């Protein structure tokens, strides 16, 4: 337990770990859905503190990572056009498209701007009525409500030069797709806490029942993860499969009803492709007909883009929990944060980035040279 002193409350961490160690009698595979949870787990060595019988599988819960290459390429194409101000969150800047990224588009003269909030992009549109302002709207249920509100405000205020390039995704259909996969090993889920802060927990009991899998709503701080694991393995050992909220300080059962109402008004559910995984039915949102004027895909003709995935990148398998980042041959050699092949190495929530930043790994000498020891 070499890392335990780094926990915010080492005594509580030790009690939780002791409880987990004494509870587990058989091997269990749990998936943490949220990429923020993955980073906490690797940063604090939580997977190494747990009993060997408990395996944590990294889920697809990094919004940047699951955004398809085609959408990234559409963003790059729009951002390169004269007269366009392309706004994005900072963690999209270095996500590789086919041959370039937003950082390079900016360097080549494109007007790419980083905003803290989508409302900042709307303000840029208000101040630049002769320009087309496009905001890159990606993310899960946590990020979709702010983007929905921004489109609602654009319509309310009559700001016509603002549009959203939408690639929003939803967690429950992804859980279903993972459970339906023939190669699925997941026996319990640590559900993403902040997704549930918005959506509540109502979508999960049906999934838990149908797939007989415990789903424990979990925060993303080290002690939250330990508590989530403790509750999940306790259920598994007892043969139970219910939905449990281990993050009540931030998650009400009904979520945020105002945000959910706005989502329903501005978006409609649609099939969506997930990078490396493929199309998952009903797993995304697009703007509803009422707001189509603010849909960048309607406003700009960006169909027919030819994408090219790097053959060496196995991030799709990483996103499905089939491969650990360091098991990829390109990891730490061909693929580093400076020369990323895929989004999982770039994103602040990507599993490959987490392994690169925080994990001492048994790599080839060349890879070890390239990997910082933290």
**Residues engaged in binding another protein (CB under 8 A):** 8, 34-36, 43, 61-64, 85, 89-94, 103, 106-107, 109, 111-120, 139-140, 142-143, 145-146, 149, 153, 156-157, 194, 197-198, 221, 249-252, 256, 258-259, 262, 337-338, 346-349
* DSSP alpha helix (H) spans, 159-221: 171-180, 193-199, 204-210
> Which of the 8 DSSP states describes residue 62?
-
CB count within 10 Å of CB 366 equals: 10
27 vs 90 by CB, closer to another protein: 90
Backbone angles phi, psi at 76, to 5 degrees: -65, -40
Assigned token pair, 279: 């199309």
In whole angstroms, how close is the CB of 180 to another protein at the nearest point? 25
In whole angstroms, how close is the CB of 150 to another protein at the nearest point? 9
185 vs 260 by CB, closer to another protein: 260
| Maximum CA extent, the chain | 66
In whole angstroms, how close is the CB of 197 to another protein at the nearest point? 4
- Name residues whose C-beta falls within 8 Å of residue 108's C-beta, 6 or more positions apart in sequence: 80
> Which of the 8 DSSP states describes residue 157?
T
In whole angstroms, how close is the CB of 217 to another protein at the nearest point? 12
24 vs 151 by CB, closer to another protein: 151
In whole angstroms, how close is the CB of 61 to another protein at the nearest point? 8
Q: How far apart are CA 349 and CA 37, in angstroms?
A: 8
25 vs 126 by CB, closer to another protein: 126
Question: Measured in whole angstroms, how far is the alpha carbon of residue 276 from the centre of its chain?
Answer: 13
In whole angstroms, how close is the CB of 255 to another protein at the nearest point? 8
140 vs 204 by CB, closer to another protein: 140
In whole angstroms, how close is the CB of 67 to another protein at the nearest point? 11
118 vs 173 by CB, closer to another protein: 118
Q: How far apart are CA 50 and CA 13, in angstroms?
A: 11
163 vs 197 by CB, closer to another protein: 197
* DSSP alpha helix (H) spans, the chain: 10-23, 35-43, 46-49, 63-66, 69-79, 102-107, 118-127, 144-156, 171-180, 193-199, 204-210, 222-238, 257-266, 296-299, 315-319, 351-358, 365-370
Three-state secondary structure call for residue 115: coil
Residues facing residue 87 across a β-bridge? 113, 135
In whole angstroms, how close is the CB of 371 to another protein at the nearest point? 15
119 vs 305 by CB, closer to another protein: 119
């Amino acid at each position: 337990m070499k890392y335990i002193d780094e926990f915010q409350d080492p005594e509580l961490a030790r009690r939780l770990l002791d409880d987990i160690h004494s509870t587990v009698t058989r091997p269990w595979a749990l998936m943490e859905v949220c990429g923020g949870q993955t980073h906490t787990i690797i940063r604090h060595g939580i997977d190494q503190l747990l009993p060997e019988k408990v395996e944590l599988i990294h889920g697809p819960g990094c919004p940047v990572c699951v955004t398809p290459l085609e959408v990234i390429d559409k963003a790059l194409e729009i951002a390169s056009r004269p007269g366009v101000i392309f706004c994005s969150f900072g963690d999209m800047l270095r996500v590789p498209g086919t041959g370039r990224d937003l950082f390079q588009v900016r360097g080549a003269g494109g007007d790419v701007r980083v905003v803290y909030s989508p409302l900042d992009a709307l303000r840029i549109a208000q101040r630049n009525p002769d320009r087309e302002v496009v905001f890159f709207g990606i993310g899960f249920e946590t990020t979709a409500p702010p983007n929905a509100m921004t489109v609602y405000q654009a319509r309310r205020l009559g700001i016509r030069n603002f549009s959203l390039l939408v690639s929003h995704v939803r967690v429950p259909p992804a859980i279903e797709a993972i459970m339906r996969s023939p190669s699925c090993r997941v026996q319990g889920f640590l559900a993403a806490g902040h997704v549930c802060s918005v959506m509540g927990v109502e979508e999960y009991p049906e999934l838990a029942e149908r797939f007989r899998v415990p789903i424990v709503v979990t925060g993303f701080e080290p002690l939250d993860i330990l508590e989530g694991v403790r509750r999940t393995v306790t259920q598994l050992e007892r043969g139970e499969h219910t939905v449990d909220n281990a993050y009540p300080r931030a998650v009400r059962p009904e979520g945020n009803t105002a945000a959910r109402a706005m989502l329903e008004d501005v978006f409609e559910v649609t099939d969506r492709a997930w990078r490396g995984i493929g199309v998952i039915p009903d797993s995304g949102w697009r703007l509803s007909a009422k707001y189509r004027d603010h849909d960048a895909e309607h406003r700009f003709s960006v169909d027919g883009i030819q994408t090219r995935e790097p053959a060496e990148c196995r991030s799709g398998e990483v996103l499905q929990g089939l491969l650990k980042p360091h098991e990829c041959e390109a990891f730490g050699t061909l693929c580093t944060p400076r020369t990323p092949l895929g989004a999982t190495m770039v994103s602040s929530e990507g599993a490959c980035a987490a392994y690169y930043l925080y994990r001492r790994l048994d790599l080839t000498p060349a890879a070890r040279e390239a990997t910082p020891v933290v």
